[in-house]
Amino acid sequence: MVDVTDNVVRAALASVEARAAQHAEAYDWALGRLTSPPVELLPPAQTLEGRMELQRIWRQSQTLGPRILDRIVWGTIGEVNWGGEGGEVDAALEALELGQLAQRLLVDLLVGGMAAAWAYVDARTGRPRVSRLSGYLQPLTDPDDVDRVVAIYQAWQSADVRQRHRWNVRIYDLEDATLREWLGVRSPTSLAAPPVEYPNITPPRYAMLHLGDDGLPQGPVAAALPVLKAELAQQMRIYRVAEQSAWPVLAIRGQINTAERGPSRVLQLSDTGGAEYLRPGDLSQLEGLHDRTLERLREDLSLPGGFLGRQTPSGEALREANLKFVQACSSYARLLSRLLTGVVADYAALAGVRNPPQVSVIVNREFDRSQRIADVLALYREGLIPLSVAVNEISVYMPTWSDEEVAAWIEKNERTVTPDDLARVLGGGGNA
């Protein structure tokens, strides 16, 4: 049993409110929920005109968080499948909408570093349900074995306007299968009052990503938050400089004979006067810094080659970047598969469904289609594999080809086809 008055537990929860604030900030940046410009990252706007300019530029800017999450979710969750036979199992799992649940759990992993789902019986309907644990999550570990999680701490601020700045806290004890709940407390660590207890629950299932220096889970997007902030600040600086120097400015010394301007007008100046155009500033250094920040984000988050940047790497650099992305997505998919398999087993037990199936999250194969074709073509060009092997290997990506058509094409072209011919037919490139 987890005792919230124990000194070890109290120490583990001592900084929860500060960590929950950091957690909420990371979600705002990751999901694009910022409502005002990050003035702390920008030069101060001290005049009314400067503040209006800042707001105008802010409306043209956006954090890259949503774009990054979309790409990782797209690469990780191609399909969500389960085994087993029988309409009872299929009907029960289709009602859970496992695909949407997998996406929300993945976002929790990427940002918060921890995701959890709970199968329980709804007291109002008497039917089993599965819910994702939202808000701030923290594992509570055994003091004698810090690698063993004994409970899950959950805290979120009340949505009730009458209880503004109040917190709701739950502790799911994984050892004695008890849920303890504190509602409407002033602080997420104000747990001196007796909780409401719900014994004999089905413990939640959870998954965790990278552990930080404090031993707590940390999502890769939250870890990259300083770079995300730097990127948005650089966006806004570039827009601001570009707007202020988007065109040449005519500078005149002395008196002129007319107030009119135009390509057909001639300016008469005094002997001591002069005129020249002030050329726009050079943005290349700011843009180069921005490009390096984008590349840093891509590296830190194992994103595919060319994603975010203005230039796509070629050759071995592109292959290495794409391989890291596929490996990262595969790792996330394995974590989600284990988590969903566990919570589906709990749900099935509550619903009286026998033989719960294993759930598999299949990574999106569309991403590595072009890379696979390019690899096979490279092997064929080097003479390391024959045409028949190359075509049979790649034909799985061409669903319009039947086995008979593949065999007939190989037999007809095996002696005359060139690597570039094969590339053009299979969509892998080649010389025109």
Residues whose CB is less than 8 angstroms from the CB of residue 90 and which lie 6 or more positions away in sequence, other chains included: none
Element (H, E) at 240: helix 225-244
Residue 393 CA to residue 387 CA, distance in Å, equals: 10
Residue-range domain boundaries for the chain: 368-432
Q: For residues 421 and 409, is the Cβ–Cβ distance under 8 A?
A: no
pLDDT tens by residue, 213-263: 677 899 999 999 999 999 999 999 888 888 777 777 777 777 766 666 666
Q: Which residue has the tokens 């918060």?
A: 112
pLDDT score, position 190: 84
pLDDT tens by residue, 161-197: 555 678 999 999 999 999 999 998 888 888 888 999 9
- How confident is the model over 323-333, as a mean pLDDT? 91
- Per the DSSP assignment, residues forming a β-bridge with 256 are 269
Q: For residues 54 and 42, is the Cβ–Cβ distance under 8 A?
A: yes
Q: Provide the residue type at 224 as one letter.
A: A
Q: Provide the residue type at 87 as one letter.
A: G
Provide, for the chain, the percentages of residues in helix, strand and coil under a 3-state DSSP scheme, each rounded to the nearest 5: 45, 20, 35
Percent of the chain at pLDDT > 90 equals 37
- How confident is the model over 52-75, as a mean pLDDT? 92
Residue 287 CA to residue 412 CA, distance in Å, equals: 53
Residue 249 CA to residue 268 CA, distance in Å, equals: 18
50-54, 60-64, 246-250: which has the minimum mean pLDDT? 246-250
Range with top average pLDDT, 60-74, 148-162, 211-225, 368-382: 60-74
Q: For residues 97 and 117, is the Cβ–Cβ distance under 8 A?
A: no
51-55, 67-71, 387-391: which has the minimum mean pLDDT? 387-391
Q: Please give the structure tokens belonging to residue 169.
A: 């806290």
pLDDT tens by residue, 277-310: 777 777 888 888 998 999 899 999 998 877 776 6
Residues in the chain: 432
pLDDT tens by residue, 392-419: 777 766 666 676 776 666 666 555 556 6
Q: Provide the residue type at 177 as one letter.
A: A
- Selection from 389, 420, 423 nearest residue 406 by Cα: 389
The Cβ-side half-sphere exposure at 33, using a 13 Å CA radius, reads: 7
Interior angle at CA 219, CA 216 and CA 225, nearest 5: 110
pLDDT classification of 315: cutoffs 50, 70, 90: low
Please indicate, yes or no, whether the overall pTM of this predicted structure exceeds 0.75. yes
Does residue 27 have a pLDDT over 70? yes
pLDDT score, position 152: 95
pLDDT score, position 388: 77
Crossing angle of helices 98-112 and 316-351, rounded to 10°: 120
Tell me the backbone φ, ψ of residue 116, rounded to 5 degrees.
Answer: -145, 145
Q: What is the CA radius of gyration of the chain?
A: 30
- Per the DSSP assignment, residues forming a β-bridge with 277 are 250
